[in-house]
Amino acid sequence: MAHSARRDCPELPDFSLLKRLARDQLIYLLEQQHEVDKLYKVEYKPVISTSDQLCFLIRPRIQTVKWICGKSNVANADKAAGKFRRYKLIFTPQKFYACEAVLEEQGIFGDVTTDEWAFYLLPLDDDIISLELPEFFKDNFLAGDQRWVRTAGSALHLLHSLYGPFSKIYGIGRCSKMAYESWREQVEEGEQRTRQAEIGKVFLIDRDVDFVTPLCSQVVYEGLVDDIFRIKCGCVEFPPDVTSSDKSIKVMLNSQDKVFNEIRNEHFSNVFGFLSQKARNLQTAYDKRRGMDIKQMKTFVSEELKGLKQEHRLLSLHIGASESIMKKKTKQDFQELLKTEHALLEGFEMRESISFIEEHINRQVSMIESLRMLCLLSITENVLDASYGVDHLLTFANLRQLGLLVEQPPGETLTVMESKVGKLVNDKTAGKLTDAFSSLARKSHFRALSRKLNLVPKSDEEYDLRVPRDMAYIFSGAYVPLSCRLIEQVLERDGWTGLEEVTRLLNGHEFAVSGKNDAQRIIVVMFLGGCTFSEVSALRFLGRERALKNSNKHDYFLVSRL
């Protein structure tokens, strides 16, 4: 959520402090390497440099360490060529024993020095801070590698150290609980300081608590921009067809972009109307020049013209981006895909939905979209009618291991499956796998959770996307994201009391721990395993709605993602 003009909106902590701390530590580490000549991007190819020392700033990935130090690669290649250089590896956000073990295996542990750049959180906007660690999900939830848990705990500890004690911490999920315990250990081990509280409550949630939401197609503007152009570290690269030129342009997407800030959370159907009105307002502002005398023109040029030109440039880019999105996302295929997703969420028209998915696969429209729909079918109905595609067996195996794909048991027919629509599949037929992954796959309880938490609004009511009435607007009124509904319910109840059946269906690991202060209305939501921009938009909406319910006191959600 961008800075609000509301007087009751809580004052935000100074998150630029996170950047300054990270910058100062990096400068300190680099200053130890005298006469740093040039920075190179790690591209897994020979390093051409005349320097007698090389410093690598890398993630703690074994593949990268092997490239630097393995046989026929940088360090050993230098030795073979008679070059003797010093090497330093700076791991960020932390170094792991497994990476140092690779140095030992390659016989160059004594030739390489290592260090650690504890860069845990990057502020991407007023209400988004991120570790930008895409491997967290795969390592933790697929491979079962828990090495990043302490990283998550350290990120939480950093917030606690800089911005004072939290009033309460809620969480759900195995990883969240371990991250909380890691944080508590670090607090107890460290120096206890008394600081003014700048953050109120904290909510930790594992990504595997809600797999349905990231499987749904995004239809808010920021989500669509991410789907099509990919937002990385708060930055997007718009291609020539958007910029109306012969080159791509990188743009920072945050609340400083006034045009973007007003449309980022809007359902895409509302965006063109806003941009058209913005263009008319801009033209009116330009037209004020007519009839001005010299003094007025001088004031206009010095005070308004620069801002108008900047706004005009940004408006042109977002109009171009919207046109590109329109070409890709308003075709018949996309509308049918949304219709199918909504039917799966509601539990209706199962035969038609399966037919559409099969046709989508046969036409090879998009492998990613096909896999997403298969996973959505599997999670919402607990069964999958068939397996498709020998080219993606590893992908299927990984999805099954995560519990995203559950095969239909032998002998189960479509007619039998149809008869179960709208109610939970019974235990005898759900979640049975006939291979080695059977112990890892989890039965989905989406249909029961949907009823208990009212995730799917009544379809017979007309939904005005211009005036959203709940968080379901981010999915065209068809579905309230499970993750955000959980957060809403826990905050309303100040804990998990009354949600015992919900937590049982979600495999537990929930917790709620009281802290010391209860003054701040800033709520940090930490997603362990990533989150979607649709969920961020939903939480921004929830913050505004809670203001209306709580005597106009504005809750401010700060999203932290790993």
Per-residue pLDDT tens digits for 409-425: 555 444 333 343 333 23
CATH 3.40.190.10 assigned to 37-119: no
What six digits make up the tokens of 562? Answer: 């790993």
Fold of 1-32+120-210+457-561: Rossmann fold (3.40.50)
**What DSSP designation does 40 have?**
-
What six digits make up the tokens of 453? Answer: 């938490």
CB atoms near residue 144 (< 10 Å): 9
With a cut of 50, which residues of the chain have pLDDT below it?
Answer: 1-7, 72, 386, 412-441
Query: How open is the CA angle 22-28-31, to the nearest 5 degrees?
Result: 135
Tokens 């479509």, residue located: 414
Question: What pLDDT was estimated at residue 282?
Answer: 86
Domain map (residue ranges) of the chain: 1-32+120-210+457-561, 37-119, 221-329
CA distances from 472 to 164, 372, 468, 482, 537 (A): 34, 20, 8, 10, 11
pTM of the model: 0.86
Fold of 221-329: Syntaxin Binding Protein 1; Chain A, domain 2 (3.90.830)
What six digits make up the tokens of 427? Answer: 């235990």
Element (H, E) at 122: strand 122-125
Q: What is the dihedral of CA 254, 255, 256, 259, to 10 degrees?
A: 100
Residue 373 CA to residue 149 CA, distance in Å, equals 30
Question: What pLDDT was estimated at residue 437?
Answer: 32
Tokens 């977002």, residue located: 318
- 470, with CB counted inside 10 A (0-12, 13-18, 19+), is middle
- Asked whether 479 and 528 are in contact (CB, 8 A), the reply is no
Residue 427 CA to residue 443 CA, distance in Å, equals 9
CA distances from 199 to 12, 17, 101, 354, 522 (A): 9, 15, 39, 47, 5
Structural Rg of the chain based on CA atoms? 26
Question: What pLDDT was estimated at residue 210?
Answer: 96
Question: What pLDDT was estimated at residue 111?
Answer: 78
Condensed to tens digits (0 to 9), the pLDDT of residues 241-295 reads 999 888 999 999 999 999 999 999 999 999 999 999 999 988 887 777 777 777 7
What six digits make up the tokens of 234? Answer: 């708060």
In this structure, the chain runs to a length of 562
Element (H, E) at 231: strand 231-232
| Phi/psi-derived region of residue 196, left when phi > 0, alpha when psi is between -120 and 50, beta in every other case | beta
What six digits make up the tokens of 218? Answer: 């995004």
Instruction: Single out the residue of 121, 70, 131, 138 nearest to residue 99, CA to CA.
Output: 70
Instruction: Cite the DSSP H helix spans in 230-305.
Output: 240-243, 258-263, 268-287, 294-300
Residue 1 CA to residue 547 CA, distance in Å, equals 13
DSSP 466-519: TS--SGGGGGTTS---HHHHHHHHHHHHTSSTT-HHHHHHTT--EEEEE-S---
3-state helix, strand, coil in the chain (%, to 5): 50, 10, 40
Shared fold status for 1-32+120-210+457-561 and 37-119: yes
Helix axes 332-346, 367-381, angle to 10 degrees: 20
Question: What pLDDT was estimated at residue 64?
Answer: 87
Question: What pLDDT was estimated at residue 81?
Answer: 73
Q: What is the dihedral of CA 446, 447, 449, 451, to 10 degrees?
A: 160
Query: Which amino acid, residue 194?
Result: T
Residue 345 CA to residue 379 CA, distance in Å, equals 10
Question: What pLDDT was estimated at residue 414?
Answer: 41
